[in-house]
Structure 1
């Protein structure tokens, strides 16, 4: 995935995340406030009824008979315990399906006041009262004078008050319709939330394209510059190399010519790597997918290092499974193996072990390149695949590194839908793992990833 695509995805993710938090916050706040308002309003009304002896008060606070004024005006919605930001005046007729029950001190149901329609039979009311009394006893302490109990049974909100003489008043209200409306409100909120996320995603998609346009232009110019500079450098490098070949017979053993040749070869290698990365960024790398013998490819790539390992008194171990076959670009896979083995040899001391293994696990080929020696610092494990990054610049210069090899190796792994990871213990060992899927790919040349 290119840098531009990653940047665009990040912008889209940020926009959608902000939209999600904002919309979710608004919807949750509204739903909570409405639900809380409904609960507080109903509970307050039932409390007022219980305090008024089971009789609902008029909107101005008076009961139907007499001039009793309730201790709490039942229209005081918006108080501190309601969590609703506005004072809302509610018509008393909205409190429908109400009834209250007066219970004598010995537990016998006395009067049943039903000023509004309620679809409960006397037997149902008796069962409901039994549940309320059982709930009172279950909460501990018994039904002593001054105790109040409130709750909900099957969508019926109740409030019970125990008077000083031991009698009890239970007020109840059917709030099933209101609960169902709140349920529908929650469902509607979910639909609004999902719809807003879809709109936000579409909006973010088009907005991100506009936002990253300057970045894309600058990035394209940078890639074009690298590619053009690389092509321009190839000519003088080739000319220098040709002149060195001409001068070498006339100046045998000249150390200055040796220095020039060495640096010219380094520059040629650097330009080659830069051109590869520039073409990869532009999607113009030519990739030839075909089935090949993975086992032979790895062995042929490791073979040139045997003499170097022997001269530096190191130990080379191979554990490559026979008969491994893979569909991909053979030359690029060999290049990855060369990069990893060269890295292992250069970063190991005399007497160290370099071990290359390749096995098939399920539907994947796993190549591991292990070496004892310097290892990699934990803070550098995520950085060594960056272009031009070198954890030890002085050593990299000594071994001829530019910090591009591992970047190229990971790029090739990504082109083949694989991964390249590293694990290490600093000062002791390092191991690179190349994982490639064993799936049949396209067997024709194409440009791009």
Structure 2
């Protein structure tokens, strides 16, 4: 239980921290990309404005004219960024004929390839975009159309380095946070673990200490019964003493399951279930109940035989105790695709859906007076769940068509 709590704490903590790390890195990448795109667009506007005033500018020596804010951009780009950028541009007349072109880096485009690429961008119908390691802007004036392109190879390389660094940084951060979470989870559950161990030790010690006085009371009551036959007060003492004895033995069973490693061996589960059904046939007959069973042959399960017998008996006893008058009990054992399924069903009152998990908790009884009347004290199903868990099984309850069905599944 403590181990599952630690795992749950680590998983929840890591989910939260991973979300924070991924969100932070995503924001860094997103803002960098947005700022880069904004600066690229601004420099293209600056180049186009300079061309409109003085023809093709020499980006190495010419400072473009100051730009005013508009709906497209807000000037923030430094002159240095403009100077170190590589531009390509092709000017067309209104009929699509080339007027002139600028090829700052012939190694990137040949003159023919530059003109052809610019023509294709012009035909695309888009005024701004990215492609082939360039960012482009198309501006239309009264007597010409200018296709301005800026080389973004270096910028794309920087962005790729940023992504790689973020992945490495994020991975290292998550590993560090995982180790910290594991250490912190151990520290957080330490008080709970200590209290839980003390509780188990108390239950075990108290159970053993109570066995002696219960046995003494039982022996004395038997002796008194010989001298005081049919005494209601004495009968009440015997009844309550038997009740206390049952609770103590069940508490000790729970403590034993939690503290002692089960002895596993191959068991013919089919024969074990049949052997545990037979003693209950008389009880079912006395209560006018119909007991039916369908047990598949030779189902083998590696388990603790004693505990498995106890689990089967608890489920059958629970079905008989809670079956409706003149009702039916159906027990089936099947194996399919390596999974073993035991079902114990009885006709009876439906268990409310919000209580179907709670009935496996210690001392939980959805109907107190009825549970007390049938001699159950809220520990049997807790023991059943503990046994199922130690065998890597799952136990749950369904209510279908006036039938209460306890399902036990083993891998």
Q: TM-score, normalised by structure 2?
A: 0.92
Cα–Cα, structure 1 residues 354 and 118, in superposed 2: closer, same or farther, change >3 Å? same
Distance 1:399 1:59 in 2: 97
- Residue 27 of structure 1 aligns to a residue whose secondary structure is helix
Are 1:436 and 2:410 matched, yes or no? yes
**1:161/1:168 contact within 8 Å kept:** yes
Cα–Cα, structure 1 residues 373 and 90, in superposed 2: closer, same or farther, change >3 Å? farther
**2:59/2:82 contact within 8 Å kept:** no
**2:357/2:396 contact within 8 Å kept:** no
**2:257/2:387 contact within 8 Å kept:** no
Q: CA RMSD in A?
A: 2.5
**2:362/2:379 contact within 8 Å kept:** yes
Q: Tell me the alpha carbon deviations over residues 22-49 of structure 1, each in whole angstroms, 9 at most, x when there is no partner.
A: 2222211111111111111011111222
What pairs with 1:280-299 in structure 2 (closer than 5 Å)? Answer: 280-281=257-258, 284-285=259-260, 287-299=262-274
- Residue 248 of structure 1 aligns to a residue whose secondary structure is helix
Distance 2:79 2:181 in 1: 43
What pairs with 1:28-427 in structure 2 (closer than 5 Å)? Answer: 28-52=26-50, 53=52, 55-56=56-57, 63=64, 69-72=65-68, 89=78, 91-92=80-81, 95-115=84-104, 119-136=108-125, 149-165=127-143, 167-281=144-258, 284-285=259-260, 287-425=262-400
Unaligned 5+ segments in structure 2 are none
Cα–Cα, structure 1 residues 40 and 118, in superposed 2: closer, same or farther, change >3 Å? farther
**1:340/1:369 contact within 8 Å kept:** yes
Distance 1:357 1:203 in 2: 48
Cα–Cα, structure 1 residues 313 and 408, in superposed 2: closer, same or farther, change >3 Å? same
Unaligned 5+ segments in structure 1 are 64-68, 140-148, 438-449
Q: CA deviation at 1:112?
A: 0.9
- Segment of structure 1 superposing worse, 206-215 or 29-38: 206-215
Moved >3 Å (runs of 4+)? 54-63, 69-73, 79-82, 87-90, 92-95, 114-118
Number of residue pairs matched by the alignment:
408
Cα–Cα, structure 1 residues 279 and 89, in superposed 2: closer, same or farther, change >3 Å? farther
**1:364/1:435 contact within 8 Å kept:** yes
Q: CA deviation at 1:407?
A: 1.1
Higher helix proportion (structure 1 or 2): 2
- Segment of structure 1 superposing worse, 370-379 or 207-216: 207-216
Cα–Cα, structure 1 residues 223 and 22, in superposed 2: closer, same or farther, change >3 Å? same
- Segment of structure 1 superposing worse, 262-271 or 247-256: 247-256
Cα–Cα, structure 1 residues 131 and 325, in superposed 2: closer, same or farther, change >3 Å? same
Q: TM-score, normalised by structure 1?
A: 0.84
